[in-house]
Copies of this chain bind each other. A is one copy, B any other.
């Protein structure tokens, strides 16, 4: 396959500037890159010839020197894929990683990696055809699993039976003929925050992903930190106790077995059986089952038992966060992935535990906030993931 991309570090920096800050004038860009004007013009010419950069129009006058606005070319289009345990989201973004079109559908990941990869390729093909594109510039994929990034495949994924070492990256790349990059969903969502969320303003932050799986993404010095074996932030299967509730991974007492969606629902069912919540009981009777959405609606509707269940989970999360925050000293903690509506209850409890138990130097001025990206964090992050690769010097 023919790959396009920057030929040197200056071209790479130029592309990333345009991706992150939008259209800018030649004058501003020349200054920002610290290049001589002739050299700058030559690099822009090469990027234009490659179809990566284009003129967006005249720049506002700065007196005397005329300049034009440059931007990432309109033919640069990234595919973004967020695989959840029960849902598949696929999107197309432009070169600034704005979502242009999107398809979502229910998905049971237990159908196995071949079927899921097939569906990803189909949906991306559909979006590509609708947009009239002959190819995608690159595709980023978020998986609800520990991912060996260099191999592009999941490693011992508790929630994805049958996916161990499946070559997700290479399988998609072979079908689509473009660069593909795969990473763990919490890492990808942290990248989304870095690009388009609250994290934009911070060089060092901790992104805590809640939901059916729990994980962290760490941004250090403006870049995602993956650790020695790309396992950094994998706190979901941290064992809090040796004899706690059974976890999906087969062990007992994991953080996720206490605070993941399934754990909260399990406790909600127990509360109904013990006659402690008429509201949850009514929902169970009506639907024949309970989900995290039921618990969240009951909690936001004022049901004391549902609220207590949410707070119990949040307290444990807070206790784990205390250690992480003291250890890593982030500028901010951003929390995403919580069920709709329960953010405020979660946040109050987590803040209480973290601020009470942490050291003053670590948390004196550290905010803990909810993500404002909703479910776009994964898609924007997936586009960012692959664009970091495509916009890197060869």
Asked if A170 is at the interface (CB within 8 A of a chain B CB), the reply is no
A289 within 8 A of B: no
Cβ contacts under 8 Å, A220 to chain B: 220, 225
A340-358 residues at the B interface, CB under 8 angstroms:
356-358
- Copies in the assembly, this chain: 2
Please encode chain A, from 202 to 229, with 1 for each CB lying within 8 Å of some chain B CB and 0 for all others.
1110000000000010101000011111
- Selected interface stretch from A30-38, A259-267, A361-369: A361-369
For A191, list chain B residues within 8 Å (CB): none
Cα(A229)–Cα(B361), bound, Å = 7
Name the B residues within 8 Å of A331 (CB-CB).
Answer: 228-229
Contacts of A300 in B (CB 8 A): none
A292 to B262, CA, bound (A): 47
Mark A107-142 against chain B: 1 for CB-CB distance below 8 A, else 0.
000000000000000000000000000000000000
Q: How far is the CA of A208 from the CA of B228 in the complex (A)?
A: 17
Chain B's nearest CB lies how many Å from the CB of A246? Answer: 15
Report yes or no: A228 in contact with B357, Cβ–Cβ below 8 A: no
Residues facing B in A220-272 (CB within 8 A) are 220, 225-235, 237-239, 242
Q: Which of A301-343 contact B (CB under 8 A)?
A: 320, 322-324, 326-331
**Inside 8 A of A104's CB, which chain B residues have their CB?**
none
Q: Is A277 an interface residue (CB 8 A)?
A: no
| Option from B229, B320, B324 in Cβ contact (under 8 Å) with A362 | B229
Residues of chain B lying within 8 A (CB to CB) of residue A323? 235, 238, 320, 323-324, 327
Q: Is A146 in contact with chain B by the CB < 8 A criterion?
A: yes
Whether A155 sits at the interface, judged by CB under 8 Å, is yes
A328 neighbours in B (Cβ, 8 Å): 218, 227, 232, 327-328
Whether A359 is near chain B, meaning CB under 8 Å from some CB there, is: yes
A108 to chain B, nearest CB (A): 24
Provide the residues of chain B in CB contact with A239, threshold 8 Å: 322, 356-358
Q: A234-B359, A234-B361 are in contact. List 17 more A-B contacts (CB 8 A).
A: A148-B361, A156-B360, A227-B330, A228-B329, A228-B330, A228-B366, A229-B331, A230-B329, A234-B327, A235-B323, A235-B327, A238-B322, A238-B326, A238-B357, A239-B358, A323-B323, A327-B328
- 24 contacting pairs across A/B (C-beta < 8 A): A146-B359, A146-B361, A156-B361, A203-B228, A204-B228, A218-B328, A220-B225, A227-B328, A227-B329, A227-B362, A229-B329, A229-B361, A229-B365, A232-B327, A233-B329, A234-B362, A235-B326, A235-B327, A238-B357, A239-B356, A242-B357, A323-B323, A323-B324, A324-B327
